[in-house]
Chains A and B, each alone.
Chain A
Amino acid sequence: MTQSALTSTPSVGGGVSVGPRDSKSYRAFTWFNGTFLVLLCGFMLYPFVTVLAQSFSSAGAVKAGMVNVWPVGFNLTTYKVVIENDLFWSSYKNTVVYTLVGTTIAMVLTTLLAYVLARRALRGRNVLIGLAVFTMFFNGGLIPNYVLIQTLGLKNTMWAVVLPGAISVFNLLVMKSFFENMPTELEEAAQIDGLGWWGIFRRIVLPLSKAVIATMILFYSVAIWNDWFAAFLYLDKQELFPVTLYLRNMIAGASSTASQGAAASGSSTSEIAANIQAVTMILTIIPVLCIYPFVQRYFVSGIMLGSVKG
């Protein structure tokens, strides 16, 4: 760290270099900064680590508060219990289905609209952009949305979970500015070769937009994967619940049984609940953790592109 701090040319990252004069205090700062950031990471990771440790620990150890970063009484029985639970599996399957269907719909709608809005010469473009952007600042609110879903007959169907979020205006704007920044020469060349708008979109624009598409898929799928509220509002049948709602009910149920148990005596239900909760949480997080590293490098640049240009 100190070596590079002494170099006099600024690094690409907009970084600042130092003259030799303040290098001593800067070295101290760098050291402090590094330590601080490492501690911060520990702070960020701690909740994950605890939950992971709890998921492998014995119920008694969790209940007694003995588990911190390392499993106590290591066993896999809780995983077995959760995985053998039919309701957990059907919820998990629902989440997967909702995520796949919802992300597909969202990607088709968002990409199409973003592509059209990126045509600077399109007539009525500003009206369409305004129509979309306005919804960022003003929305219908909980009750009118609820009434709409009810009126459309979407209650207790997966469409209530999957459809309403299909266009996120933020994602739309990020994609739009990505498309706007594409070199126009490519499209012009394609036009000369006789491609129409649809052909350009499919053959030129989409293949060149893998980065932004990957980012948007991550954003949409994570949003649907994590959502519980739409399901909570619109679904009454347990067999339609996504895993987040299953988990929410477990947490809500556990806290009420825990308080009841505290009133009566040490109940075994809340004992098991903490453990099962940990396992369910881990199983719910895992898919997100799995795709995250692969898409991460894309979304950083994607967000930058989208935001810097407004």
Chain B
Amino acid sequence: MSAAHATGDVLGTSVQASSGGRVPSSVDGEDPGSKERPRARKIGWRHTLRRDWVLYAMALVPVLFLLVFRYVPMFGNIIAFRRFRAGGSIFGDEWVGMRYVELFLNDPNFWNVFGNTVILGGLTLIFCFPLPIVLALLLNEVRKTAFKRVIQSISYLPHFLSVVIVVGMLMQLLSLQGTVNQIIEAMGGEAIPFLQRAEWFRTVYVGSEVWQTVGWGTILYLAALTTVDASLYEAARIDGANRWRQTWHITLPGIRPTMITLLILNIGLFLNVGFEKVLLLYNPLTYATGDVVSTYLYRVGLVANNFSYATAIGLFQAIIGLVMILTANFVSRRVVGASLW
């Protein structure tokens, strides 16, 4: 409040009147420089700053934050091409060209973890993308609001748990004496050490991922479902469409924009498969299927102290992610006319 008063005192009444004005509004007329009013676009920066300086001041710290904590690391990626010395410049000390890129392109371990990442990411996409849609459609058929609300609350809950807790729960459920093995033994099977077997890693990972995200994923679809035009259903019913056909021909097309938006976002995050969860969940016995690009670069970079090499890997991964999201967005804009921007 005090800042707003100060404006009026320092810069005079005209500023106080116009400091609240939007660019095209008539409040501009009170400004001395109002000759430019018809050509609102040509208002100079000085004028804009004088009128909206409070807004710019409000944005200053958040924008500085973004620059320091988001953009400096982005430029910090340059150490993928420069040799980084501990305690040296954040941007590296001398150019080494594509050395680190060549190094990882020829690294068999890298291709191994890249394959794991693609498989794990692909499986996550296949299961975690469509299941919330199915659940949202089922929830949408529930007529009793109280019942629906209870189910929704419960299904969101795992989303609010720490990865540490989820992994802790997994370890207990999947231990040799855990519930899952009790069930297997009750059915005459033999207990499986799930977390020590490479062939089980993907199942365990994707299963827990579904458990954690499926309920949360329904929120957006349920929101989209409320916007589907009810008269369409009536028309379809008159045409003799049964429930299933109504769902297929009206509900699903109705939520298609939401589906596409989320699909594009999921594709963009494809390679970022849950780094933290894998890091907590895997162990040397399950590296064969569990080790992904981000955990590998964590070990190369921070455990083995090879910063530049790890940065090169990370940059590669980030660029693939960016390209994938741009491509997905481009394709969907062309094919279905929906896009993120």
B-binding residues in A (CB < 8 A): 1, 4-5, 10-19, 22, 26, 29-30, 33-34, 36-38, 40-41, 43-48, 50-51, 54, 63-65, 68, 109-110, 112-113, 115-117, 119-123, 128, 131-133, 135, 137-148, 151, 163-164, 166-167, 190-191, 194-203, 222, 225-229, 233, 244-245, 247-248, 251-252, 255, 274, 277-278, 281, 284-285, 288-289, 292-293, 296, 300, 303-304, 307-308, 310
Q: Point out the residue from A135, A196, A281 that lies within 8 Å of B165, measured CB to CB.
A: A281
Which single residue of chain B is at the shortest CB-CB distance from A16?
B233
A180 to chain B, nearest CB (A): 13
**CB <8 Å contact, B172 and A51:** yes
**CB <8 Å contact, A109 and B61:** yes
Q: How far is the CA of A5 from the CA of B258 in the complex (A)?
A: 27
Describe A's contact surface by its main secondary structure: helix
CB neighbours of A63 from chain B (8 A): 177
**CB <8 Å contact, B58 and A145:** no
CB neighbours of B314 from chain A (8 A): 141-144
B154 within 8 A of A: yes
A147 to chain B, nearest CB (A): 5
Which single residue of chain A is at the shortest CB-CB distance from B300?
A143
B50 to chain A, nearest CB (A): 12
B1 within 8 A of A: yes
B125 within 8 A of A: no
A233 to chain B, nearest CB (A): 7
Given contacts A139-B74, A194-B16, contact A16 B251 (CB under 8 A): yes
Stretch at the interface among B17-25, B102-110, B111-119, B197-205: B17-25
B219 to chain A, nearest CB (A): 5
Number of A-B contacts (CB under 8 A): 312
CB neighbours of B19 from chain A (8 A): 196-197
Q: How far is the CA of A143 from the CA of B45 in the complex (A)?
A: 39
CB neighbours of B79 from chain A (8 A): 143-144, 147
Q: Point out the residue from B4, B139, B215 that lies within 8 Å of A196, measured CB to CB.
A: B4
CB neighbours of B283 from chain A (8 A): 255
Q: Point out the residue from B61, B152, B154 that lies within 8 Å of A112, measured CB to CB.
A: B61
Q: How far is the CA of A304 from the CA of B8 in the complex (A)?
A: 39
**CB <8 Å contact, B58 and A201:** yes
**CB <8 Å contact, A303 and B220:** yes
**CB <8 Å contact, B58 and A144:** no
**CB <8 Å contact, B224 and A308:** yes
Shortest 4 CB-CB distances between A and B: which pairs? A140-B73, A65-B177, A144-B76, A196-B4
CB neighbours of B190 from chain A (8 A): none
**CB <8 Å contact, B243 and A244:** no
B94 to chain A, nearest CB (A): 16
**CB <8 Å contact, A277 and B168:** yes
| Complex interface residues of chain B between 180 and 214 (CB less than 8 A to chain A) | 181-182, 211
Query: Which of B62, B153, B158, B220 has the most CB atoms of chain A within a 10 A radius of its CB?
Result: B62
B66 within 8 A of A: yes
B225 within 8 A of A: yes
B280 to chain A, nearest CB (A): 7
Q: Point out the residue from B52, B72, B301 that lies within 8 Å of A148, measured CB to CB.
A: B72
A153 to chain B, nearest CB (A): 12
Task: Give me 6 other A-B pairs in contact (C-beta within 8 A), A16-B243, A37-B142, A300-B219 excluded.
Answer: A10-B234, A44-B211, A116-B55, A148-B73, A148-B76, A304-B219
User: Please, could you name 24 A-B residue pairs with CB atoms under 8 Å apart, sorted by A?
Assistant: A1-B143, A12-B226, A41-B155, A65-B182, A68-B179, A68-B182, A113-B58, A113-B62, A113-B63, A122-B55, A143-B76, A143-B307, A144-B72, A191-B20, A194-B20, A196-B4, A196-B16, A197-B55, A197-B58, A233-B302, A251-B280, A255-B171, A285-B161, A307-B258
| Complex interface residues of chain B between 15 and 42 (CB less than 8 A to chain A) | 16, 19-25, 27
B65 within 8 A of A: yes
**CB <8 Å contact, B301 and A143:** yes
**CB <8 Å contact, B162 and A226:** yes
**CB <8 Å contact, B163 and A140:** no
Given contacts A65-B182, A147-B76, A199-B4, contact A44 B157 (CB under 8 A): yes
CB neighbours of A43 from chain B (8 A): 211
B151 within 8 A of A: yes
Given contacts A226-B162, A288-B161, contact A132 B246 (CB under 8 A): no
Q: How far is the CA of A227 from the CA of B147 in the complex (A)?
A: 32
Q: Point out the residue from B22, B73, B321 that lies within 8 Å of A119, measured CB to CB.
A: B22
**CB <8 Å contact, A244 and B143:** no
B167 within 8 A of A: yes
**CB <8 Å contact, A196 and B54:** yes
Which single residue of chain B is at the shortest CB-CB distance from A166?
B65
B290 within 8 A of A: no
CB neighbours of A143 from chain B (8 A): 76, 79, 297, 301-302, 307, 310-311, 314
**CB <8 Å contact, B223 and A36:** no
**CB <8 Å contact, A44 and B23:** no
**CB <8 Å contact, B144 and A1:** yes
CB neighbours of B233 from chain A (8 A): 10, 16-17
A223 to chain B, nearest CB (A): 9
Given contacts A144-B74, A202-B1, A227-B162, contact A22 B142 (CB under 8 A): no
B178 within 8 A of A: yes
A161 to chain B, nearest CB (A): 13
Q: How far is the CA of A46 from the CA of B233 in the complex (A)?
A: 38
B242 within 8 A of A: yes
Q: How far is the CA of A300 from the CA of B143 in the complex (A)?
A: 19
**CB <8 Å contact, A34 and B173:** no
**CB <8 Å contact, B165 and A36:** no
